[in-house]
Amino acid sequence: MGKSTLAQMILERNKISWMPLDIVREALHNVSPHLGIKEGKNWWINHHEKFFPFLKELVQDINASQIIYTLEGDSFLPMHADQLIKYFGIRACFLGASKINVDTLKTFKGGGDYWLDELSEKELADLPNWIIKKSEEYRLECEKYGIRYFDVSFNHRQTLEEAYEYLTKNNI
């Protein structure tokens, strides 16, 4: 909740282009479905390991080109971010929610969240609890690796401002 908004803030304020990793992942799957990035009904729960080798290569190529770029998405985990930070000196953070409901999901629905419309009523009703659980897992993993985590549940806009400041300080 807020990843695209945060990336858009960086673009508007600092003229740094951004790329949604969801689009990259989708294109990679369409060209190379044999990689299994989107296998099974719940592919999005465990696709991170299959996507990370490509992401690492993408970051390496962006880094080598010396272009400042924002990559946005949930296609990697804090342990992956830790590797990218160590290898390439990138700055990363994670956004999560310790409190959320279906109405909030619909209110803050991003442009790439078309998949929400494809969920059954039960799946949609169960989604907030899943997000809260995954957010707590991410928060703990971020703590383990020393990566910044921002809980957007309370004062959403201010929290995004704090994440923006963290990502852009001393970079521009």
Domain of residue 13 covers 3-168
Which domain CATH number covers 123? 3.40.50
**Contact criterion met (CB below 8 Å) for 78 and 72:** no
For 8, the 3-state DSSP assignment is helix
Residue 65: closest CA among 33, 21, 17, 100:
17
Q: What is the pLDDT of residues 34-47, one digit of tens each?
A: 888 887 777 777 78
Q: In the chain, what is the straight-line distance between the N-terminal and C-terminal CA atoms, in Å?
A: 25
Consecutive H or E run containing 32: none
Q: What is the pLDDT of residues 110-162, one digit of tens each?
A: 555 666 777 788 888 888 999 999 999 999 999 999 999 999 999 999 999 99
Q: What is the pLDDT of residues 68-108, one digit of tens each?
A: 999 998 889 999 999 999 999 999 999 999 998 888 777 76
Torsion of CA 32, 35, 38, 44, to 10 degrees: -130
**Total tally of structural domains belonging to the chain:** 1
| pLDDT at res. 171 | 56
